[in-house]
């Protein structure tokens, strides 16, 4: 011990700083007006909330929410089941290992930008089956289905996760409603995109790392979907790149809060008004850490492009339309190939800056 495999070692400029900046940090937003019976008689409270959400999306791309309506007891159950699952021997977990045919399940060799992440994960799809394109070929219209893989142990994992996913899904859609309002759109503007969602939930386990100054739990990245709703434990390690100066800011664990971040799809829909922000995860040498992101993703047949209501002559679309399903399948399959080139990214669809 005391040494890490070179595959985990980050280039010097991407290594974490051991002095941590944790100022007042990302905004903390109270969602209680959503559940309060007064909210109908008090539209002011909702208006204030919508403004807060809009500012957080614009200035940070990240925020935390409290009084979000997801019962704490459902989160605790997941926490217990996740600990039981990851505590099993590797050969047990590898029985449900993710591969090219089945893209969800257990995985312990994830790479971000071709450096290995110091973590192990279990992924599961919110819709079963999830409808997706058969291939990454742009002209191939054939569809296929993705199914989940469940471990034998702990036996309750499936039920606990399925129950939990309904709760976070509800929360994520409420947040999409508030985001729509903050962009001056009808509250249900985004709803239709998620009818045949390709959303998934991930259980992340970050074991203690002997060289936390050289490796990362997850390397710097942006989330490719619409919105991420993340539950983290009390250990901490998530860092967000502050938009104003590019500093990495630690997201302080807040009991029973969720961390919300804008994904690439909202960036494109909003024509860059709300940008998806880079983030990464630091590990430490003493404590293991658990986190549970819910990635809200639209139906595979969604053509992602700037919304017409938000573009005009003065503010033309900054992206060409792209197929979410093809984007998603390319991302998933690239996990199983050592790619020299970078993963598919939204800037590949950016309209070049011509005279405007």
Give contact residues for ligand OGA (rule: CB under 6 A).
202, 204, 218, 223, 230, 232, 238, 279, 281, 291, 293
In contact, 124 and 198? CB cutoff 8 Å: no
Taking the complex as a whole, how short is the minimal distance between the CB of residue 46 and Ni ion, in angstroms?
29
50 binds, among ligand OGA, Ni ion, none (CB under 5 to 8 A by kind): none
Compute the distance between CA of residue 133 and CA of residue 37 in angstroms, rounded to an integer: 43
Q: Which is nearer to ligand OGA, 182 or 204 (CB)?
A: 204
Q: Is 117 in the site for Ni ion (CB under 5 A)?
A: no
CB 77 within 8 A of CB 164: yes
Q: With the CA atoms of 262, 263, 267 and 270 taken in that order, what torsion angle do they form, in degrees rounded to the nearest 10?
A: -60
Residue 16, CB-side half-sphere exposure with 13 Å CA sphere: 27
Nearest approach in angstroms of CB 202 to ligand OGA is 6
Distance CA 196, CA 200 (A): 12
Give the other-Cβ count within 10 Å of 156's Cβ: 12
From 59-67, 69-77, 223-231, 300-308, give the range in contact with Ni ion by CB under 5 A: 223-231
CA distance 115 to 117: 6
Closer residue to ligand OGA, CB minimum distance, 183 or 226: 226
Residue 123, binding choice from Ni ion, ligand OGA, none, Cβ under 5 to 8 Å by partner class: none
From first CA to last CA, the distance across the chain in angstroms is 57
CB of 224 to Ni ion, least distance (A): 9
| Cβ within 8 Å of residue 347, ≥6 positions away | none
CB closer to ligand OGA out of 280 and 318: 280
Of the listed pieces 131-139, 216-224, 250-258, 336-344, which binds Ni ion according to CB under 5 A? 216-224
**Percent helix, strand and coil across the chain, each rounded to 5?**
30, 20, 50
Any contact of residue 275 with Ni ion (CB under 5 A)?
no
- Binding at 98: pick from ligand OGA, Ni ion, none (beta carbon under 5-8 Å per type): none
As a whole number of angstroms, the distance between CA 274 and CA 57 comes to: 5
- For ligand OGA, the closer of residues 49 and 240 by Cβ is 240
Pick the closer one to ligand OGA by CB: 281 or 304.
281
Q: Which does 202 bind (CB under 5 to 8 A by kind): Ni ion, ligand OGA, none?
A: ligand OGA
Instruction: List, in order, residues 6 or more apart from 233 with CB less than 8 Å away.
Output: 79, 253, 289, 290, 291
Decide whether 189 or 280 has the Cβ nearer to Ni ion: 280
Q: How far is the CB of 299 from ligand OGA (least distance, A)?
A: 21
Closest C-alpha to 21, from 234, 215, 214, 251: 251
Cβ 159 to Ni ion, closest distance in Å? 26
Q: Does 278 bind Ni ion (CB under 5 A)?
A: no
Q: How far is the CB of 70 from Ni ion (least distance, A)?
A: 19
| Binding partner of residue 281 among Ni ion, ligand OGA, none, CB cut-off 5 to 8 Å per kind | ligand OGA
Question: Nearer to Ni ion by C-beta: 176 or 181?
Answer: 176
In this structure, how many other beta carbons lie within 10 angstroms of the beta carbon of residue 145?
A: 12
Whole-number minimum distance, CB 33 to ligand OGA, in Å?
A: 27
Q: Do residues 224 and 263 make contact, with C-beta atoms less than 8 angstroms apart?
A: yes
Asked whether the beta carbons of 26 and 63 are under 8 A apart, the reply is yes
- Which window, 52-60, 127-135, 219-227, 327-335, contacts Ni ion (CB under 5 A)? 219-227
SS3 of residue 293 by DSSP: strand
Minimum Å gap between C-beta 284 and ligand OGA is 13
Closer residue to ligand OGA (CB): 52 or 117:
117
Residues at the interface with Ni ion (CB under 5 A) = 223
């Amino acid at each position: 011990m005391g040494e890490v495999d070179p595959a985990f070692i980050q280039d010097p400029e991407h290594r974490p700083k051991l002095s941590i900046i944790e100022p007042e940090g990302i905004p903390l937003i109270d969602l209680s007006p959503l559940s309060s019976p007064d909210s109908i008689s008090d539209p002011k409270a909702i208006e204030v909330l919508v403004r807060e959400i809009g500012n957080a999306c614009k200035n940070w791309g990240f925020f935390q929410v409290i009084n979000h309506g997801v019962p704490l007891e459902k989160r605790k159950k997941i926490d217990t089941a996740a600990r039981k699952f990851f505590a099993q021997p590797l050969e047990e977990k590898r029985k449900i290992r993710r591969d090219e045919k089945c893209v969800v399940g257990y995985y312990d060799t994830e790479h971000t930008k071709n450096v290995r992440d110091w973590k192990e994960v279990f992924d599961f799809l919110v819709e079963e089956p999830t409808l997706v394109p058969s291939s990454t070929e742009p002209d191939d219209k054939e569809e296929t289905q993705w199914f989940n893989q469940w471990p034998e142990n702990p036996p309750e994992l499936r039920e606990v996760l399925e129950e939990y996913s309904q709760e976070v899904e509800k929360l994520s859609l409420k947040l999409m409603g508030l985001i729509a309002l903050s962009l001056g759109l009808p509250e249900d503007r985004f709803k239709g995109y998620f009818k045949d969602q390709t959303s998934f939930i991930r259980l992340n386990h970050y074991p203690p790392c002997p060289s936390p100054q050289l490796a990362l739990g997850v390397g710097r990245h942006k989330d490719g979907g619409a919105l991420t709703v993340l539950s983290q434990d009390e250990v901490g390690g998530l860092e967000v790149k502050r938009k104003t100066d590019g500093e990495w800011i630690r997201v302080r664990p807040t009991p029973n809060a969720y961390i919300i971040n804008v994904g690439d799809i909202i960036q494109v829909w909003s024509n860059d008004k709300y940008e998806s922000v880079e983030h990464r995860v630091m590990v430490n040498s003493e404590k293991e850490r658990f986190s549970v992101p819910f990635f809200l993703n639209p139906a595979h047949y969604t053509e992602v492009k700037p919304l017409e209501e938000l573009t005009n002559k003065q503010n033309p679309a900054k992206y060409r339309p792209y197929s979410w399903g093809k984007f998603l399948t390319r991302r998933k399959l690239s996990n199983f190939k050592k790619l020299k080139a970078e993963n598919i990214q939204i800037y590949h669809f950016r309209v070049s800056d011509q005279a405007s």
